[in-house]
A = this chain, B = another copy of it.
């Protein structure tokens, strides 16, 4: 193996062909946006030297294999400048051709407006929402250290096939968004030496000169956050000078610093050398116009009459990246094969993790909870997490400073922290499995995305359900990418009590259920919680969020199979999203009570009260409506028979979405207003989340 710190050669070779290749990408960027009619040419033009340097001279990547484990990762946080990446994918032979550039921002093309994970081969993560990429790059760096610990913990630093760099390019928007300050603070705490971030400091955003909104000293801020900071100023001389060797030297220096993440401020002129639009907000996000493009090409000494043109010898030169990458890959394979031979068990683990398979007896240590005793689902979840952790070494996670409240601590495995971050309460281990995000929910969300995308480990993050709002943009990105992150959201209703309306979710469950490709699971008792976790660990189709109670809930006495008579169903139905927990006496119930989470017990009590009045009700526990929606029509009919129009939903939150399940004749028992600071049980009474109210609603629905 080549040592990670010295892997990039110390001499930069930068020929006329290299420069011509860089200049060619500038022209192609202008052409592509012009043809599309809209897009973002400016940064793609001015960052062309950086992008080329990284993809052709610095990063270890194999254009012919985007799945190579040993590759350096590249994250374009300023995702609107997707051309920056596409153009290097074109030059470097990653599978994009001129035709793809011509199809920029067209339906189904490989070159959408923002880089899309799972859509264009080689894209590591979907970016565009500003700040998300830089924040996720911290997660990539977390993952690279964790995976090294999992698979090759004893190798010398920089010596393992699991060692590589995470490179991230960010713009003003990324720097201004608060989520990057959150994530960058964690990166400093974690001493992520393999993370190198470039800040394209061009002092231009959409509203032109950033002096109106960004006057801070960004470099000093990153120093304060514990980063190694360098500035490469291409504007320092009388004329703008794209000093590539200086940038290269800074990258080498950043590679040598192994105990801090590195931040390289690159001062550029956006759109340079575009004749009139450079250094203006206009070139950020609009087509430049024919005249300006002509001027650009002339300034670059390219033929202004040609569009989408690359000289064959330029392309031949840059496509040599494929051979270089394959050679690097082959060299890496030797080290990897040696590791695999010496570590057959770890190799088997790696194969399983990459395949997304379950371990043997995956759920053997997940507890069953005895009926009768009251347990909150958050406490049950904590026990399940610890049961899973014994069988899934790739399972890790933590909380945004609410570990004890969220019940998310894996015991006995140490915190993922450098040694000097140990405290009286927490043991520190660079390869530990307990994550401490601080009070930074949004960064947590993006870091989870980065972790999952990097190496397919299973990771969870936790906070109060209400604060899912803080992390919502990152949750949406996970859903868009179908990244199987896991969220542990506790304190899931007004029943949390005295903290009051700022902390009490009301609209939150439905607001989350609205996000496509996101599963929201709200288990009714401890054993549903265990079943939910098992299903989450078995599925890998996208993100999943658990909504868990603060308050204790009875653990239902259950039978072995389906509900029958007075015997409640087993938890097998949890995986189907909704199931008949308590059957009606008749084949067809008079009324269906459908409830989730802590309100299932309310529905159960209502069923008994209705029975005493001769009304035959079934109780449907519906922990995950997304899973239920996937079921066959037959199964759905068995749970919610179409003939039964009398239905009541019970959920201590907004009622809006329930109409889909209860129909016109149904009644929704819920809370469509903000909560209040008071005892939780009191509030449930006050707000009508009671079996009496459910009984009344059932009668209303029955027209009685």
Residues of chain A at the chain B interface (Cβ within 8 Å): 36, 38-39, 79-80, 104-109, 112-114, 116, 126-131, 172-173, 176-182, 185-186, 188-189, 205-221, 223-226, 281, 399, 401-405, 415, 417, 421-426, 428, 436-440, 442-443, 466-467, 469-470, 472-473, 476-477, 479-480, 497-503, 506-507, 510-511, 513-517, 654, 656-657, 659-660, 663-664, 672-674, 676-679, 682-683, 686
* Cβ contacts A to B, 11 pairs, < 8 Å: A107-B676, A107-B677, A107-B679, A114-B499, A126-B502, A176-B185, A178-B182, A188-B215, A206-B401, A218-B224, A514-B514
Known: A129-B502, A516-B673, A516-B674. 11 other contacts (CB 8 A): A79-B502, A108-B678, A113-B677, A173-B401, A177-B178, A209-B424, A211-B422, A212-B436, A219-B224, A470-B473, A507-B514
In the assembled complex, the CB of A288 is this many whole angstroms from the nearest CB of chain B, namely 16
Closest B residue to A214 by beta carbon equals B438
Q: Are A185 and B38 in contact (CB under 8 A)?
A: no
Q: What 7 A-B pairs have minimum CB-CB distances, sorted nearest first?
A: A178-B178, A213-B438, A112-B677, A105-B498, A107-B678, A128-B502, A659-B659
Flag if B220 contacts A226 (CB, 8 Å): no
Chain B residue, CB-CB nearest to A509: B514
Known: A206-B404, A207-B403. A677 touches B188 (CB 8 A): no
CA distance A440 to B175 in the complex (A): 10
Select the residue from A424, A672, A686 with max chain B CB neighbours within 10 A: A424
Q: Please indicate the chain B residues that have their CB under 8 angstroms from the CB of A498 in the complex.
A: 36, 38-39, 104-105, 112-113
Given known contacts A178-B179, A212-B417, A216-B225, A128 and B499 CB-to-CB distance under 8 angstroms? yes
Contact A437 B182 (CB under 8 A): no
- Whether A663 lies near B664 (C-beta < 8 A) is yes
Assembly stoichiometry (copies):
2
Query: A469: which of B113, B225, B476, B499 is its contact (CB, 8 Å)?
Result: B476
Residues of B within 8 A of A182 (CB): 176-178, 181
Q: Report chain B residues within 8 Å CB of A207.
A: 399, 401-404, 425-426, 436
Complex Cα spacing A467 to B473, Å:
8
Chain B residues near A131 (CB, 8 Å)? 439
A211 and B405 form a contact (CB under 8 A) = no
In angstroms, how far is the closest chain B Cβ from the Cβ of A544? 17
- Once the chains are docked, how many angstroms separate the CA of A214 from the CA of B437? 9
Given A107-B676, A107-B677, A424-B208, also A656-B114 (CB < 8 A): no
Asked, given contacts A500-B116, A674-B480, whether A173 binds B439 with beta carbons under 8 Å apart, the answer is: yes
Bound-complex Cα distance A683 to B514 (A)? 20
Known: A176-B440, A443-B178, A656-B514. A426 touches B208 (CB 8 A): yes
**Interchain CB contact under 8 A, B176 and A178:** no
- Of A130, A178, A476, most buried by chain B (CB within 10 Å of CB) is A178
**CA–CA, A403 and B206, complex, Å:** 8
- CB within 8 A of A209: which of B281, B423, B477? B423
Residues of B within 8 A of A676 (CB): 107-108, 112
Contacts of A208 in B (CB 8 A): 423-426
Contacts of A437 in B (CB 8 A): 213
Q: Are B112 and A177 in contact (CB under 8 A)?
A: no
